[in-house]
């Protein structure tokens, strides 16, 4: 974090995007829509989930830190499970993609994200791929949760 802060405070400093700062429980209270937390509670005591096993906060809750201008290419946030973003400072431009109808006029749905061929055929991680996706952008400001 010290290196990121140094870059942010230096005029014309480097653009940095740090993507994994485990937050532990950090006073986190899961919102009512946190399906991951509720699913974990329902599976406690079943095989592979001991009754006294604590919720794996370091694996499920982490922070991102970036300087102005930082970006990264297309990716999927774990099929949407446990994904939310709460902006503390600065702003984040978040782009959401919805599958378009394909050339064969077949409807695509969100299971399309699970099909590896979607990302191998005519897909460029550095471009918007408007032939495959309808895009919607949201500008998140401090205090916003998505």
Per-residue model confidence as pLDDT tens digits over 33-85: 677 777 777 888 888 778 887 777 777 777 788 888 888 777 776 655 567 78
- 86 and 58 in one domain? no
Q: How many residues are present in the chain? A: 146
What is the total count of domains within the chain?
2
| Start-end of H helices in 10-62 | 35-43, 57-60
- 86 and 105 in one domain? yes
- Using the predicted structure, report yes or no on whether residue 136 has a pLDDT greater than 80: yes
**Which residue segment(s) compose the domain that 66 sits in?**
1-70
Kindly report whether the global pTM for this prediction surpasses the value 0.95: no
- 78 and 50 in one domain? no
- 59 and 32 in one domain? yes
- 97 and 127 in one domain? yes
CA distance 97 to 74: 10
- 82 and 58 in one domain? no
Q: Which of 84-88, 110-114, 138-142 has the highest mean pLDDT?
A: 138-142
Band the pLDDT of 9: cuts 50, 70, 90.
confident
């Amino acid at each position: 974090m010290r290196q990121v802060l140094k870059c942010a405070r230096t005029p014309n400093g480097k653009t940095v995007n740090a993507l994994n700062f485990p937050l532990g429980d950090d006073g986190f209270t899961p919102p009512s829509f946190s399906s991951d937390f509720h699913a974990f509670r329902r599976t406690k005591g079943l095989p592979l989930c001991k009754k006294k096993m604590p919720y794996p906060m370091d694996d499920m809750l982490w922070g991102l830190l970036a300087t102005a201008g930082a970006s990264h290419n297309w990716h999927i946030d774990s099929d949407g499970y446990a994904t939310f973003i709460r902006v503390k400072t600065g702003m984040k431009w978040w782009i959401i993609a919805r599958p378009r109808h394909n050339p064969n006029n077949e409807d695509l749905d969100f299971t399309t994200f699970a099909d590896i061929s979607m990302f191998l055929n005519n897909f460029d991680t550095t471009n918007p791929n408007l032939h495959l996706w309808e895009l919607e952008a949201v500008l998140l400001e401090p205090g916003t949760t998505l």
